[in-house]
Structure 1
Amino acid sequence: MLNLQMIKRRLESQIIEALKRSPSVALLGPRQVGKTTIALNIAETTPSVYLDLENRRDLQKVQDIEAFHVENSDKLIVLDEVQRLPEIFAALRGIIDKQRRKGNRAGQFLFLGAASIDLLQQSSESLAGRIAYLELHPVDAAEFAGNSLDKLNSLWVRGGFPESLLSASDRNSLDWRHDFVRTYLERDIPQMGPRIPAETLERFWTMLAHNQGAVLNASQLARNLDVSSTTVGRYLDLMTDLLLVRRLKPWTTNVGKRLVKSPKIYVRDSGITHALLNIPDYNGLLGHPVVGGSWEGFVIENLMSVVPSRVQPYYYRTPGGAEINLVLEFPGGEKWAIEIKRSSAPSVSKGFYAGCEDIKPDKRFVVYSGLETFPMGEAITAIPLSNLMQKLLEQS
């Protein structure tokens, strides 16, 4: 049985490198994704002090952060759950600048937060030029599955949260995910400020899971929940800020055609999707109507965990039927078009061909559930998920 220490998290080395060049680093990701484990690993090799800002005693220690820093200026200060104390960033600017004048230009603070980069940046604008942002995704196929289809399917069913993925049984894994959902609804989201009934938000989250990968129809969701479309937008903003839901933007560059312009919505972790829908195991997933959307979302999240910085993800769709599941636009304008198929013997739809005619991508891939990479004609390559992830890592 694997444990978390046996899964090498790729981001750990990137955090260490970022701490060597930046005074502060913010490591972001949803709860229970492994941020604290990585921080404690780094603390084993670097003189450090770790504080959990959800702990009242630790929170009290940083009420005067300048005094605390004076006592610990020779250490890396790790502040966990930093979104609980956003006002701390204003004081940190002066501390960091004072250390810079002394020649200490890197490795002073490591922040851990369970909120999106956009949300945290609003609080930490005073640290512009003094902070690097990194996002820790759940365990992905490159870290866990390699070329094993059994491991890949287990990751797909259970998702990438370590406690779920490494549970002793599917039953235990599903129980953990149900508890995860309940904790977010009853404790974490209320602590973020919004006063939303847990039952309403759970219904909303479950609706998104049922419609995994669908184009957002806010008015339909609003009717089902008996709320306004504006309220649906507020719920969606919240779930996106908490890194639980992805809004995949449409490709809107002018190609001389009408385009679908609403985002596609995905519950980011496949295991959470399956928990919301009470799908217990692999066989149950194969027989469920969400199976295609679940696989599509799973592939997209795994690819997004390895895309180089500044690569922009989109989907492409026209009312006439041209469609590309994922378009990656690289700095400089290079484009990759990616079709996602669950079949082990993939075929390419007419919509993908039509979409490629419209946007003229530089590379065309079909991600499928097999193990071999092979050409499919018309410059299209069929490729396993792990192999395409490796290609993206090589672009970094």
Structure 2
Amino acid sequence: MIQRRLENTVREALARSSSVALMGPRQVGKTTIALNISESVASIYLDLESRLGLEKVRDIRAFHEANRENLIILDEVQRLPELFAELRGIIDEERRRGNKSGLFLFLGSASIDLLQQSGESLAGRIAYLELYPVNALEYSDGESEKINTLWLRGGFPESLLADSTGDSLEWRLDFIKTYLERDIPQLGPRIPAATLERFWTMLAHNQGSVLNAAHLARNLDVSGVTIGRYLDLMTDLLLIRRLKPWTFNIGKRLVRSPKIYVRDSGITHALLNIEGYNNLLGHPVVGGSWEGFVIENIMSVAPPRMQPYYYRTPGGAELDLVLEFAGGEKWAIEIKRSSSPKLSKGFHVACEDIQPDKKFVVYLGTDTFPMAEDVTAIPLYGLMNEIVGR
């Protein structure tokens, strides 16, 4: 079993907050964390996808009263959003009794539903955390072979730890099918599974590209507005990342559409039927896949209020990633799938435009070393540790 770094963060949040919402896509490990926590505190766990679990909490006030001494863990809580209006009163009553922390742990697979419902009713009473797929710090110890396995298979635990590459791919194909045929129809608008699969696959083919909604709409024979709805849905389900452009006060024409990534690299490869590492290296998506993999790993260790962007001008100035930390510090990051990184003029021009505090190029080697113009070449594992230790 892989020890998830977020588990201690969840425990700390429960120690100071009345309720904690742990969000993440299905099968990413939320339930495992919750059950680990339940072993060390008095708790009761209910899966709201089961009919019995739903019935038990339809009268949440009575259920809480019968289990007041327990941490109540509710899995797939977006299935019963009306709970939140009643939970506000319960939490306030417990606070008046002096019980100000560790009352509820919510697990959810659909961030927008959870955020909207709990945000309307539990403002100031809830802490939000997101569990990403397994990252390079949790799995690789900086070993190149393990990082390559993580990149190929993605970070969903059952895919990553499968007995063979073929078993891993089959798990991911089943995951995609289940989302398309069961989970998305339950959580979102009624979209034909075949249409949504084509859309998801098109995004995988264009991994890391600037959004061209008109092109996608033509290929799917739908409107640009419909493409926007599809993207909203997949983003809200934590399956797609829209990376916003950095557009702040520099007086230049800029590319202003977001870049789009399928968030888990293993799902990207499954959508494209890429099974083995050599198949991946020979596929046209290899560069975009590596870029998305690096970005998701970086975001998995992001401190609170850090915002990610990319930067691009029509003239060719470009940064793969701009990290803006709370307080305004900026890091410029270039991502190279190479063991001997070289930087283009566009990188240096972009750095002149945004004036970052630090400049990095993430590359495939294992050493960290300085390059010209205050740029540091660094492996992914090393940059993640830089962020954690900041």
Instruction: Indicate the TM-score class for this superposition, using the shorter chain for normalisation.
Output: over 0.9
Q: 1:291 Cα shift?
A: 0.2
**Cα distance in structure 1, aligned partners of 2:8 and 2:166:** 34
**Cα distance in structure 1, aligned partners of 2:153 and 2:326:** 34
Where 1:378 maps in the other structure, the secondary structure is: helix
Kindly indicate whether residue 121 of structure 2 is the aligned counterpart of residue 123 of structure 1: no
Mapping for residues 209-248 of structure 1, pairs under 5 Å: 209-248=204-243
Task: Detail structure 1 runs of 4+ shifted over 3 Å in the superposition.
Answer: none
Q: Which residue of 1 aligns with 2:94?
A: 99
User: Pick from 280, 290, 294: which aligns with 1:295?
Assistant: 290
AA matched with 1:254: N
Q: 1:193 Cα shift?
A: 3.5
Kindly indicate whether residue 252 of structure 2 is the aligned counterpart of residue 257 of structure 1: yes
User: Pick from 340, 347, 363: which aligns with 1:352?
Assistant: 347
Mapping for residues 17-32 of structure 1, pairs under 5 Å: 17-32=12-27
Q: Which residue of 2 aligns with 1:206?
A: 201
Q: Which residue of 2 aligns with 1:390?
A: 385
Q: Which runs of 5+ in 1 are unaligned?
A: none
Kindly provide the CA deviation profile for residues 346-378 of structure 1, in whole angstroms up to 9, marking residues without a partner as x. Answer: 111111111001101000000011100001110
Where 1:45 maps in the other structure, the secondary structure is: coil
Kindly indicate whether residue 176 of structure 2 is the aligned counterpart of residue 151 of structure 1: no
Where 1:190 maps in the other structure, the secondary structure is: helix
Q: 1:308 Cα shift?
A: 0.5
Kindly provide the CA deviation profile for residues 28-65 of structure 1, in whole angstroms up to 9, marking residues without a partner as x. Answer: 00000000000000000010000000000011000100
Kindly indicate whether residue 11 of structure 2 is the aligned counterpart of residue 16 of structure 1: yes
Tell me the number of residue pairs that the alignment of Structure 1 and Structure 2 aligns.
Answer: 389
Tell me how large the CA RMSD over aligned residues is. Answer: 0.6
**Cα distance in structure 1, aligned partners of 2:366 and 2:188:** 46
Where 2:389 maps in the other structure, the secondary structure is: helix
Mapping for residues 179-190 of structure 1, pairs under 5 Å: 179-190=174-185
Q: Which runs of 5+ in 2 are unaligned?
A: none
AA matched with 1:134: L
Q: 1:119 Cα shift?
A: 3.6
**Cα distance in structure 1, aligned partners of 2:115 and 2:73:** 18
**Cα distance in structure 2, aligned partners of 1:13 and 1:249:** 30
Kindly provide the CA deviation profile for residues 87-141 of structure 1, in whole angstroms up to 9, marking residues without a partner as x. Answer: 100000010000000000000000000012x442211121000000000000000
Whether the 8 Å contact between 2:206 and 2:285 is mirrored in structure 1 is yes
The farther-off stretch of 269-278 and 347-356 is 347-356
AA matched with 1:206: T
Kindly indicate whether residue 260 of structure 2 is the aligned counterpart of residue 272 of structure 1: no
Where 1:185 maps in the other structure, the secondary structure is: helix
TM (norm. structure 1) is 0.98
Q: Which residue of 1 aligns with 2:37?
A: 42
- Closer, same or farther: CA 264–193 of 1 in aligned 2, 3 Å: closer
AA matched with 1:121: L
Q: 1:254 Cα shift?
A: 1.8
Where 2:371 maps in the other structure, the secondary structure is: strand
Q: Which residue of 1 aligns with 2:76?
A: 81
Q: Which residue of 2 aligns with 1:195?
A: 190
Whether the 8 Å contact between 2:18 and 2:103 is mirrored in structure 1 is yes
